[in-house]
């Protein structure tokens, strides 16, 4: 997770990759849109495969909380 940085003065405080202006959200949206890891790495020379893995791990952790609902 050290590859994911959050800086209030950058990208509105959204999680980014290694202090760059590439948001975790950007990487996730590219993957969700059908881009392969190889395509993303070809388009963004500064990214590394471990950055993409870190973005996925960050997203998995972000949605891993339980959802509580009121009993009827």
Number of residues in the chain:
72
pLDDT at 57 over 90: yes
Q: Half-sphere exposure of 58 toward its Cβ, with a 13 Å CA cutoff? A: 23
Q: What pLDDT shows up at residue 1?
A: 75
pTM here is 0.85
Mention the CATH class of domain 4-62: mainly alpha
Residues 19-52 pLDDT 10s:
999 999 999 999 999 999 999 999 999 999 999 9
Taking the domains of the chain in order of start, what are their residue ranges? 4-62
Check pLDDT > 70 for residue 72. Answer: no
């Amino acid at each position: 997770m050290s590859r994911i940085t959050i800086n209030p003065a950058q990208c509105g405080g959204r999680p980014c990759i290694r202090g760059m202006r590439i948001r975790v959200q950007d990487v996730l949206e590219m993957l969700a849109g059908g881009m392969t890891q190889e395509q993303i790495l070809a388009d963004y020379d500064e990214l590394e495969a471990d950055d993409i893995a870190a973005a996925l791990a960050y997203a998995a952790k972000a949605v891993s909380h339980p959802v509580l609902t009121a009993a009827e």
